[in-house]
Structure 1
Amino acid sequence: MLDAQARRLIDPPLNRMGRALARAGATADGVTLAGLVLGLLAALLVALGAAQWALLPLAASRLADGLDGAVARATRRSDYGGYLDIACDFAFYGALPLAFVLADPATNGAAGAFILASFYFNGTTFLGYAILAERRGIETAAQGIKSLYFSNGLLEGTETIAFFVLICLWPGGFAPCAWVFGALCYLSGALRLIGARRVFR
Protein backbone atom coordinates (compact mmCIF):
# COMPACT_ATOMS: atom_id res chain seq x y z
CA MET A 1 0.00 0.00 0.00
CA LEU A 2 2.90 2.35 0.76
CA ASP A 3 5.43 1.17 -1.83
CA ALA A 4 4.57 3.75 -4.50
CA GLN A 5 5.03 6.64 -2.05
CA ALA A 6 8.20 5.08 -0.62
CA ARG A 7 9.70 4.66 -4.09
CA ARG A 8 9.39 8.36 -4.79
CA LEU A 9 11.47 9.09 -1.69
CA ILE A 10 14.11 6.37 -1.91
CA ASP A 11 14.66 5.96 -5.66
CA PRO A 12 16.75 9.15 -6.25
CA PRO A 13 19.42 8.33 -3.59
CA LEU A 14 19.34 4.63 -4.51
CA ASN A 15 19.92 5.48 -8.18
CA ARG A 16 22.94 7.62 -7.27
CA MET A 17 24.36 4.82 -5.13
CA GLY A 18 23.59 2.28 -7.84
CA ARG A 19 25.51 4.27 -10.45
CA ALA A 20 28.49 4.49 -8.09
CA LEU A 21 28.41 0.73 -7.43
CA ALA A 22 28.16 0.03 -11.16
CA ARG A 23 31.22 2.21 -11.83
CA ALA A 24 33.05 0.23 -9.12
CA GLY A 25 32.26 -3.01 -10.97
CA ALA A 26 29.33 -4.35 -8.94
CA THR A 27 26.70 -6.41 -10.74
CA ALA A 28 22.98 -6.34 -10.01
CA ASP A 29 22.85 -10.11 -9.47
CA GLY A 30 25.80 -9.90 -7.08
CA VAL A 31 24.03 -7.22 -5.03
CA THR A 32 20.85 -9.35 -5.00
CA LEU A 33 22.73 -12.36 -3.66
CA ALA A 34 24.56 -10.25 -1.09
CA GLY A 35 21.19 -9.00 0.11
CA LEU A 36 19.95 -12.57 0.48
CA VAL A 37 23.03 -13.58 2.50
CA LEU A 38 22.53 -10.59 4.80
CA GLY A 39 18.84 -11.44 5.19
CA LEU A 40 19.63 -15.05 6.07
CA LEU A 41 22.21 -13.81 8.57
CA ALA A 42 19.46 -11.74 10.19
CA ALA A 43 17.28 -14.85 10.37
CA LEU A 44 20.13 -16.84 11.92
CA LEU A 45 20.58 -14.20 14.62
CA VAL A 46 16.85 -14.34 15.38
CA ALA A 47 16.95 -18.13 15.63
CA LEU A 48 19.89 -17.83 18.06
CA GLY A 49 17.89 -15.47 20.27
CA ALA A 50 19.55 -12.21 19.21
CA ALA A 51 16.60 -10.61 17.42
CA GLN A 52 17.62 -7.02 18.11
CA TRP A 53 21.10 -7.62 16.68
CA ALA A 54 19.36 -8.95 13.57
CA LEU A 55 18.22 -5.40 12.76
CA LEU A 56 21.67 -4.51 11.40
CA PRO A 57 21.93 -7.22 8.69
CA LEU A 58 18.19 -6.89 8.06
CA ALA A 59 18.57 -3.19 7.24
CA ALA A 60 21.63 -3.88 5.08
CA SER A 61 19.73 -6.65 3.29
CA ARG A 62 16.84 -4.38 2.42
CA LEU A 63 19.24 -1.67 1.27
CA ALA A 64 20.81 -4.23 -1.07
CA ASP A 65 17.32 -5.19 -2.26
CA GLY A 66 16.79 -1.60 -3.38
CA LEU A 67 20.27 -1.19 -4.79
CA ASP A 68 20.21 -4.22 -7.09
CA GLY A 69 17.58 -2.59 -9.28
CA ALA A 70 19.49 0.69 -9.24
CA VAL A 71 22.66 -1.10 -10.37
CA ALA A 72 20.68 -2.85 -13.10
CA ARG A 73 19.29 0.46 -14.36
CA ALA A 74 22.82 1.86 -14.45
CA THR A 75 24.17 -1.12 -16.40
CA ARG A 76 21.89 -3.66 -18.06
CA ARG A 77 18.50 -4.88 -16.92
CA SER A 78 17.67 -8.54 -17.48
CA ASP A 79 14.65 -10.74 -17.03
CA TYR A 80 16.78 -13.20 -15.08
CA GLY A 81 17.85 -10.44 -12.69
CA GLY A 82 14.22 -9.65 -11.89
CA TYR A 83 13.48 -13.35 -11.46
CA LEU A 84 16.45 -13.81 -9.11
CA ASP A 85 15.43 -10.73 -7.14
CA ILE A 86 11.87 -11.90 -6.43
CA ALA A 87 13.06 -15.44 -5.60
CA CYS A 88 15.59 -14.08 -3.09
CA ASP A 89 12.95 -11.78 -1.60
CA PHE A 90 10.59 -14.68 -1.02
CA ALA A 91 13.39 -16.78 0.48
CA PHE A 92 14.15 -13.99 2.95
CA TYR A 93 10.48 -13.32 3.72
CA GLY A 94 10.02 -16.96 4.67
CA ALA A 95 13.27 -17.28 6.62
CA LEU A 96 12.60 -14.58 9.21
CA PRO A 97 9.27 -15.90 10.55
CA LEU A 98 10.75 -19.42 10.50
CA ALA A 99 13.62 -18.13 12.63
CA PHE A 100 11.18 -16.91 15.29
CA VAL A 101 9.58 -20.35 15.32
CA LEU A 102 12.98 -22.00 15.75
CA ALA A 103 13.86 -19.58 18.54
CA ASP A 104 10.74 -20.51 20.55
CA PRO A 105 8.66 -23.30 18.95
CA ALA A 106 6.21 -23.61 21.84
CA THR A 107 5.26 -19.94 21.84
CA ASN A 108 5.67 -19.07 18.16
CA GLY A 109 4.94 -22.32 16.31
CA ALA A 110 1.25 -21.89 15.49
CA ALA A 111 1.52 -18.18 14.69
CA GLY A 112 4.61 -18.82 12.56
CA ALA A 113 2.84 -21.54 10.59
CA PHE A 114 -0.13 -19.22 10.06
CA ILE A 115 1.92 -16.30 8.75
CA LEU A 116 4.00 -18.52 6.47
CA ALA A 117 0.80 -19.99 5.03
CA SER A 118 -0.51 -16.46 4.46
CA PHE A 119 2.74 -15.52 2.67
CA TYR A 120 2.30 -18.57 0.45
CA PHE A 121 -1.23 -17.54 -0.51
CA ASN A 122 -0.43 -13.85 -0.94
CA GLY A 123 2.67 -14.64 -3.00
CA THR A 124 0.66 -16.92 -5.27
CA THR A 125 -1.91 -14.20 -6.00
CA PHE A 126 0.92 -11.72 -6.64
CA LEU A 127 2.90 -13.92 -9.04
CA GLY A 128 -0.19 -15.27 -10.78
CA TYR A 129 -1.36 -11.70 -11.40
CA ALA A 130 2.06 -10.86 -12.86
CA ILE A 131 1.86 -13.80 -15.29
CA LEU A 132 -1.59 -12.80 -16.57
CA ALA A 133 -0.58 -9.13 -16.80
CA GLU A 134 2.45 -10.07 -18.90
CA ARG A 135 0.26 -12.20 -21.18
CA ARG A 136 -2.07 -9.25 -21.76
CA GLY A 137 0.68 -6.65 -22.12
CA ILE A 138 -0.37 -4.75 -19.00
CA GLU A 139 2.42 -2.64 -17.50
CA THR A 140 2.90 -0.39 -14.48
CA ALA A 141 5.77 1.59 -12.97
CA ALA A 142 3.95 2.58 -9.76
CA GLN A 143 6.45 0.61 -7.64
CA GLY A 144 9.38 1.56 -9.87
CA ILE A 145 10.61 -0.04 -13.08
CA LYS A 146 10.42 -3.81 -12.54
CA SER A 147 11.03 -6.93 -14.60
CA LEU A 148 7.56 -8.22 -13.77
CA TYR A 149 4.20 -6.65 -13.00
CA PHE A 150 3.96 -5.52 -9.36
CA SER A 151 0.26 -5.44 -8.51
CA ASN A 152 -0.47 -3.22 -5.55
CA GLY A 153 -2.02 -4.60 -2.40
CA LEU A 154 -2.99 -3.90 1.16
CA LEU A 155 0.44 -5.16 2.27
CA GLU A 156 3.55 -4.64 0.15
CA GLY A 157 7.28 -4.59 0.75
CA THR A 158 7.25 -1.44 2.88
CA GLU A 159 4.70 -2.86 5.31
CA THR A 160 6.47 -6.21 5.44
CA ILE A 161 9.80 -4.62 6.37
CA ALA A 162 8.07 -2.49 9.01
CA PHE A 163 6.58 -5.71 10.44
CA PHE A 164 10.00 -7.39 10.49
CA VAL A 165 11.57 -4.41 12.26
CA LEU A 166 8.74 -4.45 14.83
CA ILE A 167 9.14 -8.12 15.71
CA CYS A 168 12.93 -7.79 15.92
CA LEU A 169 12.53 -4.91 18.34
CA TRP A 170 9.80 -6.79 20.24
CA PRO A 171 10.50 -10.51 19.83
CA GLY A 172 8.12 -11.38 22.65
CA GLY A 173 5.29 -9.95 20.56
CA PHE A 174 5.94 -12.15 17.54
CA ALA A 175 2.90 -14.38 18.04
CA PRO A 176 0.18 -11.69 18.31
CA CYS A 177 1.83 -9.61 15.58
CA ALA A 178 2.07 -12.64 13.28
CA TRP A 179 -1.61 -13.52 13.72
CA VAL A 180 -2.60 -9.96 12.80
CA PHE A 181 -0.15 -9.56 9.92
CA GLY A 182 -1.02 -13.01 8.55
CA ALA A 183 -4.71 -12.16 8.56
CA LEU A 184 -3.95 -8.94 6.68
CA CYS A 185 -1.89 -10.95 4.16
CA TYR A 186 -4.88 -13.21 3.51
CA LEU A 187 -7.07 -10.11 3.10
CA SER A 188 -4.53 -8.53 0.72
CA GLY A 189 -4.45 -11.67 -1.43
CA ALA A 190 -8.25 -11.93 -1.44
CA LEU A 191 -8.59 -8.30 -2.54
CA ARG A 192 -6.08 -8.95 -5.34
CA LEU A 193 -8.17 -11.92 -6.50
CA ILE A 194 -11.28 -9.76 -6.55
CA GLY A 195 -9.49 -7.03 -8.49
CA ALA A 196 -8.07 -9.57 -10.93
CA ARG A 197 -11.57 -10.84 -11.71
CA ARG A 198 -12.45 -7.39 -13.05
CA VAL A 199 -9.22 -7.00 -15.04
CA PHE A 200 -8.81 -10.48 -16.55
CA ARG A 201 -12.37 -11.57 -17.35
Structure 2
Amino acid sequence: MLDRYARQLIDPPLNLMGRGLAARGCSADGVTLVGLTLGLCAALLIALGQFGWALVPLLASRLADGLDGAVARATQKTDFGGYLDIAADFLFYGAIPMAFVFYDPAANGAAGAFLLASFYFNGTSFLGYAILAEKRGHKTDLQGQKTLYYSNGLLEGTETIVFFLLLCLFETFFAPLAWLFGSLCFATAILRILAAKRIYSD
Protein backbone atom coordinates (compact mmCIF):
# COMPACT_ATOMS: atom_id res chain seq x y z
CA MET A 1 0.00 0.00 0.00
CA LEU A 2 2.93 2.33 0.75
CA ASP A 3 5.40 1.13 -1.88
CA ARG A 4 4.40 3.64 -4.56
CA TYR A 5 5.02 6.52 -2.16
CA ALA A 6 8.24 5.04 -0.80
CA ARG A 7 9.56 4.56 -4.35
CA GLN A 8 9.13 8.26 -5.10
CA LEU A 9 11.43 9.06 -2.18
CA ILE A 10 14.06 6.36 -2.48
CA ASP A 11 14.39 5.82 -6.24
CA PRO A 12 16.39 9.00 -7.04
CA PRO A 13 19.19 8.31 -4.49
CA LEU A 14 19.12 4.57 -5.27
CA ASN A 15 19.50 5.25 -8.99
CA LEU A 16 22.45 7.54 -8.28
CA MET A 17 24.12 4.88 -6.11
CA GLY A 18 23.27 2.20 -8.65
CA ARG A 19 25.03 4.09 -11.42
CA GLY A 20 28.08 4.44 -9.20
CA LEU A 21 28.17 0.71 -8.44
CA ALA A 22 27.66 -0.16 -12.09
CA ALA A 23 30.56 2.11 -13.05
CA ARG A 24 32.73 0.13 -10.63
CA GLY A 25 31.82 -3.14 -12.29
CA CYS A 26 29.24 -4.42 -9.80
CA SER A 27 26.54 -6.65 -11.27
CA ALA A 28 22.88 -6.52 -10.31
CA ASP A 29 22.83 -10.26 -9.57
CA GLY A 30 25.87 -9.86 -7.33
CA VAL A 31 24.13 -7.12 -5.35
CA THR A 32 21.06 -9.36 -5.02
CA LEU A 33 23.15 -12.17 -3.56
CA VAL A 34 24.92 -9.80 -1.17
CA GLY A 35 21.52 -8.57 0.00
CA LEU A 36 20.30 -12.12 0.53
CA THR A 37 23.43 -13.00 2.50
CA LEU A 38 22.94 -9.97 4.73
CA GLY A 39 19.29 -10.88 5.26
CA LEU A 40 20.20 -14.43 6.29
CA CYS A 41 22.83 -13.04 8.67
CA ALA A 42 20.07 -10.95 10.25
CA ALA A 43 17.96 -14.09 10.63
CA LEU A 44 20.88 -15.91 12.28
CA LEU A 45 21.37 -13.07 14.77
CA ILE A 46 17.65 -13.12 15.59
CA ALA A 47 17.76 -16.87 16.19
CA LEU A 48 20.67 -16.25 18.59
CA GLY A 49 18.71 -13.55 20.43
CA GLN A 50 20.80 -10.63 19.15
CA PHE A 51 17.85 -8.53 18.05
CA GLY A 52 19.52 -5.14 18.17
CA TRP A 53 22.51 -6.29 16.16
CA ALA A 54 20.17 -7.95 13.66
CA LEU A 55 18.85 -4.55 12.65
CA VAL A 56 22.15 -3.66 10.98
CA PRO A 57 22.31 -6.48 8.38
CA LEU A 58 18.51 -6.42 8.04
CA LEU A 59 18.51 -2.77 6.95
CA ALA A 60 21.61 -3.29 4.82
CA SER A 61 19.95 -6.21 3.06
CA ARG A 62 16.95 -4.08 2.15
CA LEU A 63 19.26 -1.36 0.86
CA ALA A 64 20.90 -3.96 -1.37
CA ASP A 65 17.46 -5.16 -2.45
CA GLY A 66 16.75 -1.67 -3.75
CA LEU A 67 20.20 -1.23 -5.25
CA ASP A 68 20.14 -4.36 -7.40
CA GLY A 69 17.35 -2.92 -9.52
CA ALA A 70 19.15 0.41 -9.74
CA VAL A 71 22.32 -1.33 -10.94
CA ALA A 72 20.27 -3.27 -13.49
CA ARG A 73 18.70 -0.08 -14.81
CA ALA A 74 22.17 1.42 -15.15
CA THR A 75 23.48 -1.61 -17.06
CA GLN A 76 21.06 -4.17 -18.47
CA LYS A 77 17.90 -5.62 -17.00
CA THR A 78 17.46 -9.36 -17.49
CA ASP A 79 14.59 -11.74 -16.86
CA PHE A 80 16.88 -13.93 -14.76
CA GLY A 81 17.82 -10.94 -12.62
CA GLY A 82 14.18 -10.29 -11.82
CA TYR A 83 13.65 -13.99 -11.12
CA LEU A 84 16.67 -14.15 -8.79
CA ASP A 85 15.52 -11.00 -7.00
CA ILE A 86 12.04 -12.31 -6.20
CA ALA A 87 13.40 -15.71 -5.14
CA ALA A 88 15.88 -14.01 -2.79
CA ASP A 89 13.13 -11.79 -1.39
CA PHE A 90 10.88 -14.72 -0.61
CA LEU A 91 13.70 -16.60 1.13
CA PHE A 92 14.47 -13.53 3.23
CA TYR A 93 10.81 -12.98 4.10
CA GLY A 94 10.53 -16.58 5.30
CA ALA A 95 13.84 -16.64 7.17
CA ILE A 96 13.03 -13.80 9.57
CA PRO A 97 9.85 -15.35 11.08
CA MET A 98 11.56 -18.74 11.16
CA ALA A 99 14.41 -17.19 13.15
CA PHE A 100 11.99 -15.95 15.81
CA VAL A 101 10.54 -19.46 16.05
CA PHE A 102 14.03 -20.94 16.44
CA TYR A 103 14.77 -18.39 19.16
CA ASP A 104 11.73 -19.37 21.26
CA PRO A 105 9.69 -22.26 19.81
CA ALA A 106 7.34 -22.46 22.77
CA ALA A 107 6.31 -18.81 22.75
CA ASN A 108 6.58 -18.11 19.01
CA GLY A 109 5.88 -21.43 17.31
CA ALA A 110 2.14 -21.18 16.63
CA ALA A 111 2.19 -17.51 15.67
CA GLY A 112 5.28 -18.06 13.51
CA ALA A 113 3.63 -20.95 11.68
CA PHE A 114 0.53 -18.82 11.05
CA LEU A 115 2.68 -15.96 9.78
CA LEU A 116 4.65 -18.21 7.42
CA ALA A 117 1.42 -19.73 6.08
CA SER A 118 0.09 -16.23 5.39
CA PHE A 119 3.33 -15.32 3.58
CA TYR A 120 3.04 -18.49 1.50
CA PHE A 121 -0.57 -17.73 0.55
CA ASN A 122 0.10 -14.05 -0.13
CA GLY A 123 3.21 -14.82 -2.19
CA THR A 124 1.32 -17.37 -4.28
CA SER A 125 -1.48 -14.90 -4.97
CA PHE A 126 1.13 -12.30 -5.95
CA LEU A 127 3.01 -14.53 -8.38
CA GLY A 128 -0.16 -16.02 -9.83
CA TYR A 129 -1.51 -12.54 -10.49
CA ALA A 130 1.77 -11.62 -12.18
CA ILE A 131 1.41 -14.61 -14.54
CA LEU A 132 -2.12 -13.60 -15.52
CA ALA A 133 -1.07 -9.99 -16.03
CA GLU A 134 1.84 -11.09 -18.22
CA LYS A 135 -0.47 -13.22 -20.38
CA ARG A 136 -2.74 -10.20 -20.93
CA GLY A 137 0.17 -7.83 -21.59
CA HIS A 138 -0.64 -5.68 -18.57
CA LYS A 139 2.11 -3.41 -17.25
CA THR A 140 2.60 -1.38 -14.09
CA ASP A 141 5.28 0.95 -12.79
CA LEU A 142 3.54 2.13 -9.63
CA GLN A 143 6.18 0.34 -7.52
CA GLY A 144 9.01 1.25 -9.88
CA GLN A 145 10.30 -0.52 -12.96
CA LYS A 146 10.03 -4.26 -12.32
CA THR A 147 10.67 -7.43 -14.29
CA LEU A 148 7.44 -8.95 -12.94
CA TYR A 149 4.02 -7.35 -12.72
CA TYR A 150 3.65 -6.00 -9.18
CA SER A 151 0.05 -5.98 -8.00
CA ASN A 152 -0.58 -3.67 -5.08
CA GLY A 153 -2.26 -4.66 -1.84
CA LEU A 154 -2.81 -3.84 1.81
CA LEU A 155 0.68 -5.11 2.63
CA GLU A 156 3.68 -4.69 0.36
CA GLY A 157 7.43 -4.56 0.79
CA THR A 158 7.50 -1.30 2.78
CA GLU A 159 5.01 -2.56 5.36
CA THR A 160 6.87 -5.85 5.69
CA ILE A 161 10.20 -4.15 6.35
CA VAL A 162 8.61 -1.92 9.00
CA PHE A 163 7.03 -5.03 10.53
CA PHE A 164 10.39 -6.82 10.73
CA LEU A 165 11.96 -3.77 12.34
CA LEU A 166 9.18 -3.69 14.95
CA LEU A 167 9.72 -7.39 15.66
CA CYS A 168 13.40 -6.77 16.36
CA LEU A 169 12.71 -3.71 18.51
CA PHE A 170 9.87 -5.35 20.47
CA GLU A 171 10.73 -9.04 20.30
CA THR A 172 8.59 -9.95 23.31
CA PHE A 173 5.53 -8.96 21.29
CA PHE A 174 6.34 -11.28 18.39
CA ALA A 175 3.25 -13.45 18.82
CA PRO A 176 0.55 -10.74 18.82
CA LEU A 177 2.32 -8.83 16.05
CA ALA A 178 2.61 -12.01 13.98
CA TRP A 179 -1.06 -12.89 14.42
CA LEU A 180 -2.05 -9.37 13.37
CA PHE A 181 0.29 -9.09 10.39
CA GLY A 182 -0.51 -12.63 9.25
CA SER A 183 -4.23 -11.84 9.29
CA LEU A 184 -3.59 -8.78 7.13
CA CYS A 185 -1.53 -10.92 4.75
CA PHE A 186 -4.44 -13.32 4.37
CA ALA A 187 -6.74 -10.35 3.73
CA THR A 188 -4.31 -8.99 1.12
CA ALA A 189 -4.23 -12.32 -0.71
CA ILE A 190 -8.01 -12.70 -0.66
CA LEU A 191 -8.51 -9.19 -2.00
CA ARG A 192 -5.96 -9.87 -4.76
CA ILE A 193 -7.81 -13.06 -5.75
CA LEU A 194 -11.10 -11.16 -5.88
CA ALA A 195 -9.44 -8.53 -8.08
CA ALA A 196 -8.10 -11.26 -10.36
CA LYS A 197 -11.58 -12.79 -10.63
CA ARG A 198 -13.02 -9.43 -11.60
CA ILE A 199 -10.36 -8.69 -14.21
CA TYR A 200 -9.35 -12.09 -15.58
CA SER A 201 -12.48 -14.27 -15.40
CA ASP A 202 -13.48 -13.74 -19.05
Task: Output the TM-score relative to the length of structure 2.
Answer: 0.99
Query: 2:87 aligns to what?
Result: 87
Q: Distance in 2 between matches of 1:133 and 1:74?
A: 26
Query: 2:192 aligns to what?
Result: 192
Query: 2:166 aligns to what?
Result: 166
| Cα deviations by residue, 1:83-137 (Å, 9 ceiling, x for unpaired) | 0000000000000000000000000000000000000000000000000100110
Unaligned runs of 5+ in 1: none
Task: Report the CA distance between 1:152 and its aligned residue.
Answer: 0.2
Query: 2:97 aligns to what?
Result: 97
Q: Distance in 2 between matches of 1:4 and 1:198?
A: 23
Q: Distance in 2 between matches of 1:73 and 1:84?
A: 15
Task: Report the CA distance between 1:198 and its aligned residue.
Answer: 1.0
Kindly provide the amino acid, as one letter, of the partner of residue 101 in structure 1: V
| Cα deviations by residue, 1:112-170 (Å, 9 ceiling, x for unpaired) | 00000000000000000000100110000000000010000000000000000000011
Query: 1:61 aligns to what?
Result: 61
Query: 2:31 aligns to what?
Result: 31
Q: Distance in 1 between matches of 2:63 and 2:107?
A: 31
Once the two structures are superposed, the pairs formed by residues 43-192 of structure 1 within 5 Å of their partners are 43-192=43-192
The 3-state SS of whatever aligns with 1:77 is coil
Q: Distance in 2 between matches of 1:35 and 1:55?
A: 14
Q: Distance in 2 between matches of 1:184 and 1:69?
A: 27
Q: Distance in 2 between matches of 1:54 and 1:164?
A: 10
The 3-state SS of whatever aligns with 2:52 is coil
Q: Distance in 1 between matches of 2:91 and 2:101?
A: 16
Q: Distance in 2 between matches of 1:49 and 1:156?
A: 27
| 1:20 correspondence with 2:23 | no
Q: Distance in 1 between matches of 2:32 and 2:147?
A: 14
Task: Report the CA distance between 1:17 and its aligned residue.
Answer: 0.1
What percent of counterpart residues are identical? Answer: 70
Kindly provide the amino acid, as one letter, of the partner of residue 146 in structure 2: K
The 3-state SS of whatever aligns with 2:12 is helix
Unaligned runs of 5+ in 2: none
Q: Distance in 2 between matches of 1:199 and 1:61?
A: 35
RMSD: 0.4
Task: Report the CA distance between 1:52 and its aligned residue.
Answer: 1.4
Q: Distance in 2 between matches of 1:200 and 1:188?
A: 18
Task: Report the CA distance between 1:51 and its aligned residue.
Answer: 1.1
Misfit runs of 4+, over 3 Å: none
Q: Distance in 2 between matches of 1:77 and 1:88?
A: 17
